[in-house]
């Protein structure tokens, strides 16, 4: 319901406002803000009144960001459990397929956006480590005579087991990152992992930095998808790959499962509204072809998509050439 | 960082909602926002969803008895017929009809705790306050109604939930599992809500053999007898009876003292 959410939102914005006033030393900042450091994006008066969708609800663009934040804040702890329940565990297969399509080699720099709880990041680390170990085994078999120093170094584990690979997990939501960090700690992932708080529409990274950019089940929550795609294009190195795993349009609309998902959310997680938002936002997301065109508009080439599980999800892929 | 600052500097603006079609034409999912709601917090649900919610909440409540929200959901999804009977019966009683009209709510904001504290010892209000303190409960922990599709019935079930603590005080039962089961039996006989009946029958599943024995031999017959004898407890305008001595109120309702003192203090 809009009413209780906006009350929380008012206090959230109020807190931000007082913090901003205290921190910025420029009294005239408010009036000069539209021409700030990000000169490229002007905030005109008309833009503020633009509407977008939050599920089936119509909200202003500023509202959407805050509302989505609250949804993921409340589902963060049960996110993985709910994913398993709703997709009957198949979401793991989808994510494995994404990694197989990516086929990263040791030394890849991956940026995983909206990757809060770390599913893609952990799979990437496993994959790259397996590849690296495979490569080393082949090397050993090829050159049977290693020097004593090389053998000693291997035993001392001085070598990087990932071969220089790195994954940066970026998410706008602190709670999701917290859950992800805890998972990494529990599973013993230490090397090659970095956690960054950031907005997909304005990534805190320099241009031409990453080999692969992934966003799994995150892009439909972004307020301006085109901006997120442009940012993806910016931070990728030339030759870099964009991969997106997202729910898509099915031929027969899954009416019954859309009824069941909020019920599951209520019974398992005590949260109807967030899962209602989930099913509605899936309905609102553009079709495979339309999304492919949006990716091409952002400057990517050789854009393809692959529908999985009869169209429930699709993996879109594009290259920055 | 930049987006956060931007959001902070330009506060939200309420967008006037576009005119919506009649509630019947719009699929119920779209109705969950805006004009189609019967009361705040209302979530319209289809019969399939209600059935699934009832089954799921019953299972989850048994699996994890600390999920009080599941019991509330079970009550809302299974009680439609019984709530109508309760509402009609309230309308026939003068005090009950007044409650339906004025719709009093019991929460920390509506209760005048200072006034209750100043009442003489032994009065209903004072004893209620003592019950809240000793058991460390607050009237604000009751979840709002969400799945009932009639706003008067939604109030009836909300009133039933808020009155639950008063019943504890009247019956002299603490909030541990044994006390709760006894109150549930009383409520089941009084209101005949399916959720109360299910709770009364399945609640004892988790009790020890000794407690079960005491429950079945002494407490349940006492609760059932009092439930039958007393007039409907939803008809009492509790907010007007704070000064009434508890003993007099119990006599008025025909509630006798419990057969033995239940551990945990009422």
Please determine, for residue B263, whether its predicted confidence score (pLDDT) is greater than 70. no
B64 contact residues in A (CB cutoff 8 A): none
A205 touches chain B (CB under 8 A): no
Segment A103-151, tens digit of pLDDT: 999 889 999 999 888 999 999 999 999 998 888 888 777 776 667 877 7
Q: What is the pLDDT of residue A159?
A: 64
Please determine, for residue B17, whether its predicted confidence score (pLDDT) is greater than 80. no
DSSP string, B16-33: PPPP---TTTS-TTGGGS
Average pLDDT, chain A: 80
How near does any CA of chain B get to the CA of A127, in Å?
Answer: 33
Contact A272 B43 (CB under 8 A): yes
pTM of the prediction? 0.67
Segment B186-233, tens digit of pLDDT: 999 999 999 899 888 888 887 888 888 888 888 888 899 999 998 888
A30 contact residues in B (CB cutoff 8 A): 9
Q: What is the pLDDT of residue A139?
A: 78
Q: CB of B190 within 8 A of CB of B227?
A: yes
**Residues of chain A numbered 126-165 and touching chain B (CB < 8 Å):** none
Segment B129-158, tens digit of pLDDT: 888 888 888 877 778 889 998 889 999 999
A296/B188 Cα distance (integer angstroms): 64
Region of residue A131 (left: phi > 0; alpha: psi -120 to 50; beta: else): alpha
Please determine, for residue A229, whether its predicted confidence score (pLDDT) is greater than 70. yes
Of B15, B52, B67, the CB nearest to A263: B52
Q: ipTM, 2 decimals?
A: 0.73
* B47: nearest CA partner in chain A: A259
Centroid of chain to Cα B172: 18
Work out the pLDDT band at A1, boundaries 50, 70, 90: very low
Of the ranges A300-304, A308-312, B189-193, which is most confident? Answer: A300-304
Segment A234-254, tens digit of pLDDT: 999 999 999 999 988 765 555
Of A20, A57, A270, the CB nearest to B69: A270
B10 touches chain A (CB under 8 A): yes
A58 touches chain B (CB under 8 A): yes
* A259: nearest CA partner in chain B: B49
Q: What is the pLDDT of residue B264?
A: 57
* B46: nearest CA partner in chain A: A259
Please determine, for residue B170, whether its predicted confidence score (pLDDT) is greater than 80. yes
Helix (H) or strand (E) holding A240: strand A236-247
Please determine, for residue A268, whether its predicted confidence score (pLDDT) is greater than 60. yes
| Least-confidence region, from A136-145, A280-289, B51-60 | A136-145
Phi, psi of A154 (to 5 degrees): -60, -40
Q: What is the pLDDT of residue A45?
A: 46
Of B7, B40, B41, the CB nearest to A66: B7
B52 touches chain A (CB under 8 A): yes
Average pLDDT over residues B239-266: 80
B37 contact residues in A (CB cutoff 8 A): 1
Contact B49 A262 (CB under 8 A): yes
Average pLDDT over residues A164-184: 93
How near does any CA of chain B get to the CA of A242, in Å?
Answer: 24
Residue A40 vs residue A65, higher pLDDT: A65
Region of residue B16 (left: phi > 0; alpha: psi -120 to 50; beta: else): beta
- Strand, helix or coil at A238? strand
Q: Report chain B's terminal Cα–Cα distance, integer Å.
A: 53
A63 contact residues in B (CB cutoff 8 A): 12
A298/A292 Cα distance (integer angstroms): 10
Average pLDDT over residues B57-74: 86
- Strand, helix or coil at A28? coil
Q: What is the pLDDT of residue A203?
A: 94
Please determine, for residue A94, whether its predicted confidence score (pLDDT) is greater than 90. yes
Q: Which two tokens stand for residue B9?
A: 């500097």
Residues of chain B above pLDDT 70, percent: 85
> Which residue in the block uniquely carries the two structure tokens 């509330």?
B72
Q: CB of A18 within 8 A of CB of B12?
A: no
Phi, psi of A237 (to 5 degrees): -75, 160
Segment A187-196, tens digit of pLDDT: 999 888 999 9
Q: What is the pLDDT of residue A239?
A: 94
Give the full edge-to-edge strand order of the sheet including A166-171: A193-197, A166-171, A109-113, A210-216, A236-247, A313-319, A301-308
How near does any CA of chain A get to the CA of B121, in Å?
Answer: 39
Of A263, A265, A273, which to mutate for an interface test with B (greatest number of B Cβ within 10 Å)? A263
DSSP string, A66-115: HHHHHHHHHHGGGHHHHHHHHHTTHHHHHHHHHHHHH-PPTT-EEEEET-
Contact B12 A62 (CB under 8 A): yes
B205 touches chain A (CB under 8 A): no
Q: What is the pLDDT of residue A44?
A: 47
Helix (H) or strand (E) holding A244: strand A236-247
Contact A13 B73 (CB under 8 A): no
Of A1, A13, A262, the CB nearest to B8: A13
């Amino acid at each position: 319901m809009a009413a209780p959410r906006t009350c929380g939102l008012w206090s959230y914005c109020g807190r931000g406002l007082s913090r901003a006033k205290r921190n910025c030393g420029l009294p005239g900042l408010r009036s000069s803000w539209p021409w700030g450091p990000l000169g490229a994006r002007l905030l005109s008066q008309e833009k503020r009144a633009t509407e977008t969708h939050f599920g089936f609800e119509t909200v202003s663009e500023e509202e959407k960001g805050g509302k989505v934040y609250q949804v993921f804040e409340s589902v963060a702890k049960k996110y993985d459990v709910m994913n398993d329940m709703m997709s009957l565990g198949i979401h793991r297969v989808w994510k494995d397929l994404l990694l197989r399509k990516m086929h990263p080699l040791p030394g890849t720099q991956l940026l995983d956006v909206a990757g809060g709880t770390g599913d893609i990041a952990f799979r990437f680390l496993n994959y790259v480590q397996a590849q690296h170990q495979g490569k080393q085994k082949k090397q050993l078999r090829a050159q049977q005579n290693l020097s004593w120093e090389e053998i000693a170094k291997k035993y001392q584990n001085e070598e990087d087991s990932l071969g220089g690979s790195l994954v940066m997990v970026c998410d706008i939501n602190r709670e999701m990152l917290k859950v992800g960090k805890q998972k990494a700690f529990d599973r013993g992932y230490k090397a090659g992992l970095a956690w960054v708080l950031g907005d997909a529409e304005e990534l805190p990274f320099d241009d031409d930095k990453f080999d692969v950019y992934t966003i799994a089940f995150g892009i439909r929550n972004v307020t301006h998808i085109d901006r997120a795609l442009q940012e993806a294009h910016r931070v990728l190195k030339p030759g870099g790959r964009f991969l997106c795993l997202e729910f898509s349009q099915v031929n027969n609309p899954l009416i019954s499962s859309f009824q069941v998902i909020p019920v599951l959310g209520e019974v398992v997680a005590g949260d109807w509204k967030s899962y209602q938002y989930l099913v509605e936002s899936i309905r609102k997301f553009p079709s495979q072809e339309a999304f492919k065109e949006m990716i091409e508009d952002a400057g990517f080439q050789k854009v393809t998509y692959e529908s999985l599980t009869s169209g429930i999800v699709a993996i879109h892929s594009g290259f920055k050439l | 960082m930049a987006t956060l600052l931007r959001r902070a500097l330009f506060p939200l603006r309420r967008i006037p909602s576009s005119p919506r079609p009649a509630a019947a034409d719009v699929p119920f999912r779209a109705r969950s926002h805006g004009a189609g709601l019967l009361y705040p917090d209302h979530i319209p649900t289809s019969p399939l969803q209600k059935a699934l919610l009832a089954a799921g909440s019953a299972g989850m409540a048994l699996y994890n008895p600390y999920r009080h929200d599941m019991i509330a959901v079970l009550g809302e999804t299974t009680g439609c017929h019984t709530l109508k009977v309760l509402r009609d019966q309230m309308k026939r009683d003068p005090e009950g009809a007044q409650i339906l009209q004025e719709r009093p709510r019991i929460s920390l904001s509506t209760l005048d705790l200072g006034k209750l504290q100043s009442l003489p010892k032994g009065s209903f209000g004072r004893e209620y306050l003592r019950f809240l303190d000793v058991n460390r409960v607050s009237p604000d922990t009751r979840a709002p109604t969400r799945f009932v599709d009639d706003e008067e019935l939604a109030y009836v079930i909300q009133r039933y939930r808020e009155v639950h603590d008063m019943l504890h005080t009247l019956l002299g039962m603490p909030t541990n599992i044994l006390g709760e089961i006894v109150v549930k039996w009383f409520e089941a006989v009084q209101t005949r809500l399916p959720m109360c009946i299910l709770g009364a029958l399945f609640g004892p599943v988790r009790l020890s053999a000794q407690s079960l024995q005491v429950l079945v031999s002494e407490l349940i017959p006492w609760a059932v007898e009092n439930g039958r004898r007393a007039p409907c407890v939803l008809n009492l305008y509790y907010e007007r009876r704070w000064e009434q001595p508890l003993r007099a109120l119990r006599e008025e309702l025909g509630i006798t003292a419990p057969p033995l003192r239940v551990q945990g203090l009422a």
